[in-house]
A = this chain, B = another copy of it.
Amino acid sequence: MKLSKKERQQLLYQTLKDNPFITDEELAEKFSVSIQTIRLDRLELNIPELRERIKNVAQHNYSEKVRSLPIDEVIGEIVDMELDRHAISILDIKPEHVFSRNKIARGHHLFAQANSLAVAVINDELALTASSNIQFLRQVKLGERVIAKAKVTEQNGPKGRTIVVVESFVNQELVFKGEFSMYRSKNEKVDKQ
């Protein structure tokens, strides 16, 4: 079945969003149209060429992602991040995170996820937690997936501290909440592309 131009373009957009590593040739084959049509589509949709797409993915990872923290020093997996603005990480609660007796996640793991996310979101070479105020709102059990969302709420608070609020959820339910007052070495400008 042949797709209309609109359908094809919508699918094209989604396809490249899911997997930016596809060439025009492969796309042409996939949609049973010529390469030129694919190129016109990309032009209309403002989608850059393969190499640019790959470069974007790479650079996103490289310069934007984690400056103050190598990636493997973050507890949990960072899935979204805009430096000095907000960040999201995921932590799956595994056996090593829980009390062996009742399978409830130990508090410091939730703290560690939130704290390291707060450190990571800071656009600075040196970022350290100065103080924090936290609440554990409900028990998190083995197997649950904790999604921590950090938001920078104040860039230049008392003593030049940056305030980061982290809220952690399991299935939309708030399980942890913390306010972190972060020390940083400089006060970098916010720049976003």
Could you give, for residues 105-122 of chain A, a 1 whenever the CB lies within 8 Å of some chain B CB and a 0 otherwise?
Answer: 011110110011001000
A58 within 8 A of B: yes
User: How close is A190's CB to chain B, nearest CB, in angstroms?
Assistant: 14
Kindly list chain B residues whose C-beta atoms are within 8 Å of the C-beta of A36. none
| Among listed A27-35, A67-75, A152-160, A165-173, interface-contacting one | A67-75
Q: Give A contacts to B, CB under 8 Å.
A: 20-21, 51, 54-55, 57-62, 64-73, 75-77, 90-92, 94, 96-97, 99-102, 104, 106-109, 111-112, 115-116, 119, 125-126, 128-136, 139, 193
Q: Which of B90, B109, B136 contacts A128 (CB 8 A)?
A: B136
Are A68 and B60 in contact (CB-based, < 8 A)?
A: no
Report the bound CA distance from A61 to B56 in whole Å: 11
Kindly list chain B residues whose C-beta atoms are within 8 Å of the C-beta of A76. 66, 68
Known contacts A111-B108, A135-B130: does B61 contact A66 (CB below 8 Å)? no
Are B136 and A193 in contact (CB-based, < 8 A)?
A: no
Are A111 and B109 in contact (CB-based, < 8 A)?
A: no
Residue of B nearest to A105 (CB): B128
Are A71 and B109 in contact (CB-based, < 8 A)?
A: yes
Are A193 and B131 in contact (CB-based, < 8 A)?
A: no
